[in-house]
Structure 1
């Protein structure tokens, strides 16, 4: 049997969930709307940007394998192939066979892909500064602390 405190905590959590459910779509929509032109105007998708970010992050001479890309995006190999196909078609990355094993396909970010990723990062950073600059340092720190904590929960 639940105690009064447990019942109150359950109600509070339910109220929180209801309020967050209402505000989250607006929050996501407004952040998406303020994204850079490449993302917002449909030049590249969010998944393509995540793939570019991964390729930019690892940026080795070898590039990344398709299985590494699929794993980083949390998608199937066929889905990753579709994402990379479009990025290759549009010149954001290149694809080549591995020198030691021709069955392995390696993907590298191109200069165009790197410039696009950097432009999106820069725009995103400016957007965050513009929005969160209206909050106090304490509020920003608290926001980041909570988001980091939620991120850790989501990893499990």
Structure 2
């Protein structure tokens, strides 16, 4: 039996335990927004200026669902729609200052939640963790 076969449950349990403690709903509650809005704001922050199709793909939903999500973000004052100058059929999505503030507060809340776990690791272990996570997220 290979190492991974023998240890996959332990790896999975460890990852899920940490993720449960830093779940977006905990952060969303702190920020006073829904989990969907929280995830959408984080994705929009990473894809600033994208169109609705790209945004939908980035959050893993259909285009109509993404449109409803963006409507809510716009109504709440977290995002804006801007017509594309090169193609008037396309609308670009941008965070407002309020939206950026929520994203920054989200990052800070995640830091507060995860820091005690990461601080248990030596600097070398932290660097290795970053390297491993990047490798796991490739492709």
- TM-score strictly above 0.5: yes
Unaligned runs of 5+ in 2: none
Matched, 1:53 2:39: no
Contact 2:37 2:69 in 1 (8 A): yes
1:86 matched to 2:72: yes
Q: Deviations over 1:27-64 (max 9, x none)?
A: 2211227953xx1356132x4334323433454xxx33
Q: 3-state SS of the aligned residue for 1:64?
A: coil
Residue 8 of structure 2 corresponds to residue 17 of structure 1: yes
Q: What does residue range 1-156 of structure 1 map to in structure 2 within 5 Å?
A: 8-9=1-2, 12-32=3-23, 35-36=26-27, 39-41=28-30, 43-45=33-35, 47-59=36-48, 63-99=49-85, 101-152=87-138, 155=139
State the aligned residue count: 138
Contact residue 35 and residue 124 of structure 1 kept, 8 A? no
Distance 1:89 1:17 in 2: 44
Report the Cα distance in structure 2 between the residues aligned to 1:110 and 1:35, rounded to whole angstroms: 23
For the aligned residues, what is the CA RMSD? 2.7
- Cα distance change of structure 1 residues 33 and 96 upon mapping to structure 2, 3 Å threshold: closer
Equivalence for 1:3: none
> What is the rounded CA distance, in whole Å, between the counterparts of 1:49 and 1:26 in structure 2?
21
Shift of 1:87: 1.2
* Unpaired runs of at least 5, structure 1: 1-7
